[in-house]
Structure 1
Amino acid sequence: MSKPEFFVTPGYGEKKLALHHYTQAVKIDNRVEIAGQGGWNDDDEYPEAIADEIARAFENVERTLALTGATWDHVIHVNSYHLPMDGEALEGDGREVPALHARPGADLDVHRSPGPG
């Protein structure tokens, strides 16, 4: 078995590591797992609109994937948690994911669930 490689996303990932002691991604052989990505920027600030926050979270996923040498073409599963679970949140999520569903041969499973509370 290969030794795990850990990845820290520049900017926010460095802060998360210092404050919470975790890395943004781990890679073993050709499998990559990434930690939950929020809609924060490098200063840990969030947009006011939920749709913008969701879009930024997906951008953060892409940034973290890139560190490991992966892209959305390699993604086979996404869990997406939203509060509130309303039309704006679902619309924001839907703007990011359909391009992946439209990719020929895509095997993507998106789970949308409300967060705790």
Structure 2
Amino acid sequence: MSDCKTYSYPGAGEWARKEMSYSQAIRVENRIVCAGQGGWDRQTLEFSPKLDEEIDQAFENVQENLKHAGGKGWTQVYRVVTYSTDIKATHQRIVENFRKWMPDHQPVWTEIGVKELGLPIMHFEIEVEAYDPQGAAEAAKN
């Protein structure tokens, strides 16, 4: 995969790359494909005990992940997959975040209920793909 550039944002992203051998994002032609983002504080890896705050932080982590990979953020997202340990408790907050972060477009979305996620403290995780032809042209120059 030498022709695909990978990204790991400072803090949690660098930790995941070093300790778990995965990147937070990868550019594939005109797309940015993001690893699942949890509601962790990017510097401390701590989680809020409040579910709504965990979800909000995960959405913010997606924004920062996309920007770190040279994208513009949620405005370029066309595909979303969410994983929740309790869909009934998370569904409405996810929709609220969609409206906040993507007021001018609606991506495709798959909502999945799961028994558990990668860290025992996690209740929510989100994956996205973004279309970024301008950023791809810039990344190709570097």
TM-score normalised by the chain length of structure 2: 0.72
**Residues 101 and 16 of structure 1: is their aligned pair in 2 closer, same or farther, counting only changes over 3 Å?**
closer
Q: Which residue of 2 aligns with 1:5?
A: 5
RMSD, aligned α-carbons: 1.8
Q: Which residue of 2 aligns with 1:76?
A: 78
Are the aligned partners of 1:7 and 1:67 in contact in 2 as well (CA < 8 Å)?
Answer: yes
Letter of the structure 1 residue corresponding to residue 50 of structure 2: A
Q: Which residue of 1 aligns with 2:35?
A: 35
2 CA distance for matches of 1:25 and 1:102? 24
Runs of 4+ in structure 1 over 3 Å off: 99-102
- Pairwise CA distance, 1:61: 0.4
Q: Which residue of 2 aligns with 1:65?
A: 66
Q: Which residue of 1 aligns with 2:87?
A: 85
User: Size of the alignment, in residue pairs?
Assistant: 113
- Pairwise CA distance, 1:29: 2.4
2 CA distance for matches of 1:77 and 1:20? 25
Letter of the structure 2 residue corresponding to residue 62 of structure 1: Q
TM-score normalised by the chain length of structure 1: 0.86
SS of the aligned residue for 1:97 comes to helix
Runs (5+) with no aligned partner, structure 1: none
Q: Which residue of 2 aligns with 1:96?
A: 97
Q: Which residue of 2 aligns with 1:46?
A: 47
**Residues 52 and 101 of structure 1: is their aligned pair in 2 closer, same or farther, counting only changes over 3 Å?**
same
- Pairwise CA distance, 1:67: 1.2
- Point out the more displaced range, 46-55 or 93-102: 93-102
2 CA distance for matches of 1:26 and 1:79? 17
